[in-house]
Amino acid sequence: MTYSNTDFNNKTILITGGAGFIGSNLAFYFQDNYPDSRVVVFDCFRSEVTFANGNLQSFGHYKNLIDFTGDVVCGNINSKPDLALLDDYKFDYMFHQAAISDTRVYDQEIVMQTNVNSFYDLLNKAKNDDAVMVYASSAATYGSLPSPQTVGIENPENPYGFSKYMMDQIAYRYSRENPDMTIVGLKFFNVYGPREYYKAKTSSMVIQLGHQILDGKAPKLFEGSDQILRDFINIEDVIQANIKACNPKQNGTYNVGTSNPRSFQDIADILQHELGTDLGTDYIPNPYDGYQMHTQADISTTQTNLGFEPVVSLEVGIKAYIPDIKRLHGTDIS
Ligand SMILES: NC(=O)c1ccc[n+]([C@@H]2O[C@H](COP(=O)([O-])OP(=O)(O)OC[C@H]3O[C@@H](n4cnc5c(N)ncnc54)[C@H](O)[C@@H]3O)[C@@H](O)[C@H]2O)c1
pLDDT digits (tens, 9 = 90+) for 139-174: 999 999 999 999 999 999 999 999 999 999 999 999
| Nearest ligand 1 atom to alpha carbon 64 | 39
β-partners of residue 307 are none
SS3 232: strand
In a domain, 217, yes or no: no
pLDDT interval class at 20 (50, 70, 90): very high
Q: How far is the CA of 183 from the centre of ligand 1 (A)?
A: 19
In a domain, 57, yes or no: yes
In a domain, 279, yes or no: no
What is the number of structural domains in the chain? 1
140 φ/ψ angles, rounded to the nearest 5 degrees = -65, -15
Q: Is the pLDDT of residue 290 over 80?
A: no
Instruction: Note down the domain range covering 107.
Output: 12-192+234-259+295-311
Query: Which of the 8 DSSP states describes residue 334?
Result: -
pLDDT interval class at 249 (50, 70, 90): confident
Q: Specify whether the backbone of 87 is left (phi greater than 0), alpha (psi in -120 to 50) or beta.
A: alpha
Which of 101, 164, 165, 190 most suits a substitution to test ligand 1, by most atoms within 8 Å of the C-beta? 101
Would you call 305 exposed, middle or buried from its count of C-beta atoms within 10 A (0-12, 13-18, 19+)? middle
How does pLDDT run across 191-205, given as a tens digit for each residue?
999 999 999 999 999
Q: Which pLDDT score, from 0 to 100, does residue 10 have?
A: 98
Q: Which helix (H) or strand (E) holds 320?
A: helix 314-328
Q: How far is the CA of 198 from the centre of ligand 1 (A)?
A: 11
| Nearest ligand 1 atom to alpha carbon 45 | 37
In a domain, 66, yes or no: yes
Distance CA 58, CA 74 (A): 13
Distance CA 133, CA 174 (A): 11
Q: How far is the CA of 280 from the centre of ligand 1 (A)?
A: 33
β-partners of residue 38 are 12
Span 231-249, mean pLDDT? Answer: 95
How does pLDDT run across 127-140, given as a tens digit for each residue?
999 999 999 999 99
Q: Is the pLDDT of residue 224 over 90?
A: yes
Q: How far is the CA of 102 from the centre of ligand 1 (A)?
A: 8
In a domain, 175, yes or no: yes
pLDDT interval class at 254 (50, 70, 90): very high
In a domain, 325, yes or no: no
Nearest 5°: the CA angle 171, 177, 180 is 90
CATH of the domain at 107: 3.40.50.720
Q: How far is the CA of 100 from the centre of ligand 1 (A)?
A: 6
Give the range among 21-30, 51-60, 310-319 with minimum mean pLDDT: 51-60
In a domain, 223, yes or no: no
Which residue's CA is the nearest one to ligand 1's atom 23?
A: 17
Distance CA 139, CA 231 (A): 10
> Residues with Cβ within 6 A of ligand 1?
17, 19-23, 43-45, 58-60, 76-78, 97-101, 114, 136, 138-139, 188, 190-191, 199
* Cβ pair 187, 297 in contact under 8 A: yes
In a domain, 213, yes or no: no
SS3 287: coil
Q: Is the pLDDT of residue 248 over 80?
A: no
Span 253-278, mean pLDDT? Answer: 98
Q: How far is the CA of 68 from the centre of ligand 1 (A)?
A: 18
